Amino acid sequence: MIRRIGSGQDEPETAGMYLLLAAVLHAFGVVNPPLSGLPGWLWFPVLLLGLGAVLLRRRWLLPAALAMASSGLGLLALGSIAGYFMAFEAVFSVFLLGGLTLRRISFTLMCLVSLVMAVLAWDATHLAQQVVLSLFLTGFILFTPMLWAQNVRTAQDLSASQAERSAALAAAAEARAERLSAEHHAARISERTALAREMHDVLSARLSSIALLSGAALAAAPGNEPLAAIRRESVTGLEEMSEMVRMLHAGTPALAARLTDVPQLVAEASEEIELEYSVPHPESIPAAVHTAAHRTVRELLVNHAKHAPGSTLSLRLEQLRDRVWIHASNPVPEHVGHGFGSGIGLESIRTRAQAVGGSCDIRPVPQFRVQVTLPTAAQLQDGIHEDPAC
């Protein structure tokens, strides 16, 4: 409280403190000889006038300062020591809140008042001691609040300067973060471009060769379903790779796939599939979940063809209220096929599900079973990002 009063930031507390001090002084009879014959009780309304000016000094500084000075002179004339409080507060307010011109004029007037009081003291006593005492008292009453106010003002200016400096540092840090983000984005674009170039150079020729060779073999042996499947897969892979290369060059989101394509995908499978498909409202499913579910089904079909050929894969895909549910199961054959591939298909399914906030449960025995749950609720869509397994 004392710190707030001393800083001049809380006018109600300042006015209340002056009122309390004046009441205590008058209660104990600490007063000066009155300079007028007016009733002594008038000190109270005159003090209230000065305190009201304290409350209004931020809105009307000059009128409030004049009112406080007038109240102080009136209180001193009535013999109240509270007049010194009002004189102190008038000077303090001017030098705390006033502009440069007002402060210069006030300083000049205070010097003139000090000189006038010294002249009057000399004229009344012709004693040098009284002149010095007069200069000391007027200087203490008038110049002490001036110095106090200037110290408070300097502290406030330093605080404002520190706040501006902190804001400038924060802005610089934010600009640096944006620059680093831009550099990271540029590096990603460069990396994607290099990846697209490598993918095109390494894989395009091989896929094209597979498509051409399988097409030639299919022409020599029409009706060979494995050869037809090889040709379809190689042509589809070549088309998807070309699309992915264009996507990497453009920096666009990952390739999109739709749940509505799953029946066609199952129909083209080389193995026997029992499909239960129930997706009544595909338009309400986020695009990332569409892609994740479609690629999960494709991975399950490839995994079944590689490791359990000749068996029947039971595949069920349902859209429930707030999720897509995929269940696949097939009997484990006595001699498990090994096929070729990278060996990370099931791990890719798990990673893809987790990327969109879903889950994956894989149980190899007694019957191979995979259960994938992908959320579709609106509150989860904000956390869906680009499929990392693309």
pLDDT at 352 (0 to 100): 85
pLDDT at 321 (0 to 100): 82
24, with CB counted inside 10 A (0-12, 13-18, 19+), is exposed
Q: What is the largest CA-CA distance in the chain?
A: 137
Contact yes or no for 234/211 (Cβ under 8 A) = yes
What predicted TM-score, i.e. pTM, was given to this entire model?
0.44
Helices and strands counted in the chain (H then E): 11, 5
pLDDT higher than 70, residue 307? yes
Spell out the domain ranges in the chain: 2-167, 254-390
Confidence of residue 196 (pLDDT cuts 50, 70, 90): low
Distance CA 283, CA 261 (A): 13
Both tokens assigned to 321: 């209220």
Confidence of residue 34 (pLDDT cuts 50, 70, 90): confident
Closest-CA residue to 311 (of 328, 331, 327, 329): 331
Both tokens assigned to 296: 């999960």
pLDDT at 248 (0 to 100): 58
Residues 131-152: tens digit of each pLDDT: 898 888 888 888 889 999 989 8
> CATH code for 254-390?
3.30.565.10
Give mean pLDDT, residues 299-311.
84
Q: Is the dihedral of CA 364, 365, 368, 373 positive or negative?
A: negative
Distance CA 66, CA 252 (A): 71
pLDDT higher than 60, residue 67? yes
pLDDT higher than 80, residue 342? no
* Count of Cβ atoms closer than 10 Å to residue 134 Cβ: 21
pLDDT at 64 (0 to 100): 92
Closest-CA residue to 145 (of 195, 200, 84): 84
Residues 10-23: tens digit of each pLDDT: 788 888 888 998 88
Share of the chain above pLDDT 90, in %: 22
Residues 88-136: tens digit of each pLDDT: 999 999 999 988 999 999 999 989 988 998 999 898 888 888 889 888 8
Distance CA 73, CA 168 (A): 48
- Residue found under tokens 């259960």: 371
Distance CA 102, CA 114 (A): 18
DSSP state of 375: E
- State the chain's mean pLDDT as an integer: 81
Residues 204-257: tens digit of each pLDDT: 667 777 777 777 787 777 777 777 777 777 777 766 666 666 655 555 555 567
Q: Which residue has the higher pLDDT, 159 or 335?
A: 159
Confidence of residue 314 (pLDDT cuts 50, 70, 90): very high
pLDDT at 324 (0 to 100): 93
